[in-house]
Structure formats: structure tokens, C-alpha cells
Amino acid sequence: MSLGPVMVGLSGLTLTAEEREMLQHPMVGAVILFSRNFENTLQVKALIDEVHALRQPKLLVAVDHEGGRVQRFRSGFTRLPAVRNFGQLYDQDPKRAKRICETAGWLMAVELRAVGVDFSFAPVIDLDYGVSTVIGDRAFHRDPQAVAELTQSYIKGMQRAGMAATAKHFPGHGAVEVDTHLGIARDERRLVDIESEDLIPFERLIHNGLAGVMAAHVIYPQVDDKPAGFSHFWLQRILRQQLQFQGVIFSDDLLMEGAAVAGDVCERAAAALTAGCDMALVCSDFNAICRTLDHLKKFDNAQCTRSARGAGSPASHLRLARMHGRHPISRDQLHNDPQWHQALHVLGPWLEAKPLDLL
């Protein structure tokens, strides 16, 4: 069974019988974990191991683990700083900031790999325009060149730890005030302005082999009347054709209010896949997930894309398979690794927890 085009959330700390059955659905390809799925490192590793054991190829397991406000796993993990700290350091010492970014990317990724997580939805490469509270200190910097340099280093660290990177939120979420979890967001800028600013980090990272991109639930009415994650223009013409992106395109969570313009959750999933997403995210509500899976199973796969390279195609399956984590490592091996101790030392001034709290 190949990986399906839907990423789903789970309800708690262990799989229910209904969730085990759901994860066998051919439309499922991945699981995303949240704080509700985490109690401690032993529990979450057991949960991930069970998910991975259900199918071949293994379902992907993902999490939002950026640091700062957005870090789903806490106890037993390094309390990573918000990445704005690295942007502030960049203004004083760019070379040191890039070295520390690589260390932070490695540390984030290797600790997740030690419990079996395949990838984190990171890094955020939105620009910090100072207007978006939902982005805020999740952004590295306002300057696109600085963001490109810092995130390139961060991704290099992730790759050393065996984790593929997913840049978000394409084509840029930092210039809108509305939180798309709660409302409809519109960015009134022209395409030329977005290209000259927000797309620069995406273009730089794509040219260096970026594996994944998450699309924003933001409408750019000067460009298209649909949110980017449902827009053939943004996903196909700009991301695939103009920027030559060859990796996975993820939707953002389709249960967010910013996606409501595309209809109910079933219509949203179909619209996202039709526009060019390889994987649609439905992160909560078991009934909504099941309705979506059954709807997509009936949905003619040829309609899910205007290109033979889209969702459900062999090319899409290959892209998704490349998101599997590499370089497996146990927590005991990690805690005996001098590189881990050195990373904690390097990042020490920014960490919330003392190193001994992590053992």
C-alpha cells in the first residue's frame, strides 16, 4: 500500500481501535502529533512505533516543533528558543548566527528522531513585518536575505540529523494581521512585491534541495481569489513552474477558519489536492477525518491535479517517501553523543531548561 494524500491527527496518548482502523485507510499517508499526544518520551516513542508498525511503507509521523511558542513536546526535550533570537544575533554577528542556527536545527531534529518522528514542520521562513501576532517571533528576521541565510544553515543541521525540512508558509504569511486559525486573511500586496521580498527565501532554499513546503491559508486578491493552498496559480505556476520546486506540497490544517472559503472539510481536501498539494492535513475531529477519507476515496484521482505529477501520481508517492526520517538513533545513544552535549553548551544562553533536566 502506498502513502495516501491525507495527514491525520490522533485523539490522545495511545491509539484507539477506531484510529488503528482509520490509519489503514488507503487515503492516509501520515500522522501529525500535538501536545495532546504527548506525556513523556517513552509514551510518545511507543505511540510512534505503533503507528510505524501498522503499514508498509511506514506512515509518516510529523509534528510542529519549531521552538519558542510552537513546540509540542516539552518534558525530556530541549526547550528550544524562538528563532527570532537567531535573527537578532545575525544583526551583530552573521557568521556566528548561522553556526548556531545549524546547531539548533540539528538539535531539534535529532531529539525528534530519537523518538521516531520523521519530520518537523520547520523552519518558518515568513518575514517578520511586525504585524502578524501568529507569526511574530516564529520568524527569523524581516530581511529576506537574512532569513534565507539563517534557514539554509538551520536546514543543513536538520539534514545532518536525518530529517527533511518543510518551509512554511508559502508564499508568505508575515504581512497579514489575521490569524488564519481564527479568520480569513487577505494580503493586498501585488505579486511583484511578494516576489521581491517573501519569495526570496523560498527560491534560495528550493535551489538547495528543499524537501517540503507548506502553503498558507492566505488570500492574495491582487494575484488570485483563492487562498494559496487552494490556488493552482500559486502552487503550479509559481511554486512548481517558476521556482521549479520538486518536493512535497502540504496544505495547512484544513479545519482552520482560514480554509473555510473552500467549503466543508471534504471540499477543502479535494480543492487542495486539485490545486496541487501532495498531502492535505486534517488535524483533529475523528468524524471529519473519516468523512474526508471516504470522500477522497470516491473522488476520481485524475481530478486531484491538473498534472500527472500531482497527488496520487508516482511522482507524488516518491516525494512523500523522501520525507521518511533517516539515521535512526536511540535516546541513550543521543545522550552519550558528545555532539549532543556540545550543542547544549553552544545553545546554553538561549535555553529555558538546564541540560540535566533533559536526561
CATH number of 62-280+296-358: 3.20.20.300
The pLDDT value recorded for residue 310 is 60
pLDDT band at 356 (very low <50, low <70, confident <90, very high): very low
CA-based radius of gyration for the chain:
19
pLDDT band at 297 (very low <50, low <70, confident <90, very high): confident
Mean local confidence (pLDDT), 335-350: 94
Q: What is the DSSP string of 116-127?
A: T--EE---B---
The pLDDT value recorded for residue 268 is 96
Mean local confidence (pLDDT), 22-43: 97
**DSSP H helical ranges for 191-313:** 191-196, 199-207, 232, 265-275, 286-298
The pLDDT value recorded for residue 113 is 98
Grid coordinates representing 244 are 521549479
309-330 pLDDT, tens per residue?
A: 566 688 888 999 999 999 999 9
pTM: 0.94
Spell out the domain ranges in the chain: 62-280+296-358
**DSSP H helical ranges for 24-166:** 41-53, 84-92, 94-113, 144-160
The DSSP bridge partners found for residue 168 are 124, 214
Mean local confidence (pLDDT), 67-78: 95
Active site members:
181, 252
pLDDT band at 357 (very low <50, low <70, confident <90, very high): very low
Higher pLDDT, 66 or 2: 66
Count the neighbouring beta carbons within 10 Å of the beta carbon of residue 95.
Answer: 10
Higher pLDDT, 347 or 306: 347
142-169 pLDDT, tens per residue?
A: 999 999 999 999 999 999 999 999 999 9
Distance CA 25, CA 44 (A): 22
pLDDT band at 180 (very low <50, low <70, confident <90, very high): confident
Percent of the residues in the chain that have a pLDDT greater than 90, as a whole number? 87
